[in-house]
A and B are shown apart, each in its own frame.
Chain A
């Protein structure tokens, strides 16, 4: 086998293996959507956690909140930065949706982009949708 054949084969192999990247370079891809801060959240400038932490860990935070509310009857979260929050997805002004007014632009845009389908809203209700 000649050196050329080996190099050629390698080149083809690398091209094939990296094909998803080539595909993405050719086609236009959507940039990951940024969650939009709307409603009271826009003015508030206070987050439950640091933005980075929130992005990475909001699911485990919600899990913790659920256990605290359902099992220990603790319903108020005093964040590390001293702010109070109502540990609820959708009830009251100080809840998740109480502050982040638009569920579609805050929750759904990223979840749809990443093909995540959390079942929160099978039971919990978006007060805006009810009306």
Chain B
């Protein structure tokens, strides 16, 4: 008699325990799974889209003044430090003396025989020695920096732009070794003291990260053209390389163009119309 009642008790207790456990489980299953309650992330309706962003630089339209303008527009608005800048010692005391060998650049003027070392023929047209070639990140189709990055801080976006997530960069500089174009710069020191006027629309970088051109991803997202395009007086055109009707493709169809170090197979997305 005694044994049987214990058995009964255990049975009832067991069923009750299942019941207790079932209630929250049922509630959980019945409720909308947490977070999916319509919180969404979207692009701005003004954003510019492309299969693969690319750039055409019409070298004939460039001169030293425009080249300077382009670099200035890009660098000031992306808070790229200038190590020739006089440091404000009140705002930044204890700033070490500047090593002028260090520089950080996103887009800059380069001589033909540095930009295109494989195309320097013995009897090259004289004008090529003087033309200002603007060089920047080529946003390669097969970007070697992306393959080299151990943390995926550098990656290729779906629209072809090679972007950096500065939060993730550990400063190993493999990407700098991998990039055949020298498009990347390293922050050996805190860049802030060397930024004349910080643009509030773009973050600065911190010590220990690599940086480079981002094809103004932040502007394309707002439906605006990159800074270099606006400052170039028509010498730089940015558009969709996969769209045969885009301005870039039309230009490339009509003119002879060259790309930097094409033999390496990185498939640069920056074309120079010479």
Contact = CB atoms under 8 A, between A and B. Distances in A.
Contact of A71 (B44, B157, B200, B202): B157
A23 to B, nearest CB: 37
Contacts of A71: 155, 157, 163, 165
Interface string A73-103: 1111111101000010011000000000000
A76 B205 contact: no
Contacts of B44: 75-76
Contacts of A72: 41, 158
B203 interface: yes
A73 B203 contact: no
Interface residues of B, number: 27
B63 interface: no
Contacts of A73: 43, 47, 157, 159, 217, 221
A123 interface: yes
A80 B221 contact: no
Contacts of A82: 38
Contacts of B204: 123, 125
A73 B222 CA distance: 10
B47 A123 contact: no
B28 to A, nearest CB: 18
Contacts, number: 64
A75 B198 contact: no
A76 B43 CA distance: 6
Contacts of A119: 206
Contacts of B221: 73, 75
A77 B39 CA distance: 7
B41 A68 contact: yes
Contact of B39 (A78, A123, A127): A78
B41 A125 contact: no
Given A71-B165, A74-B41, A78-B40, A123 B217 contact: no
A90 B200 contact: yes
B166 interface: yes
A105 interface: no
A80 B37 contact: yes
Interface of B: 37-44, 47, 155, 157-159, 163, 165-167, 198, 200-206, 217, 221
Interface of A: 65-66, 68, 70-80, 82, 87, 90-91, 119, 122-125, 127, 130
Shortest Cβ-Cβ A-B pairs, 6 listed: A74-B41, A127-B200, A80-B37, A123-B203, A122-B206, A78-B40
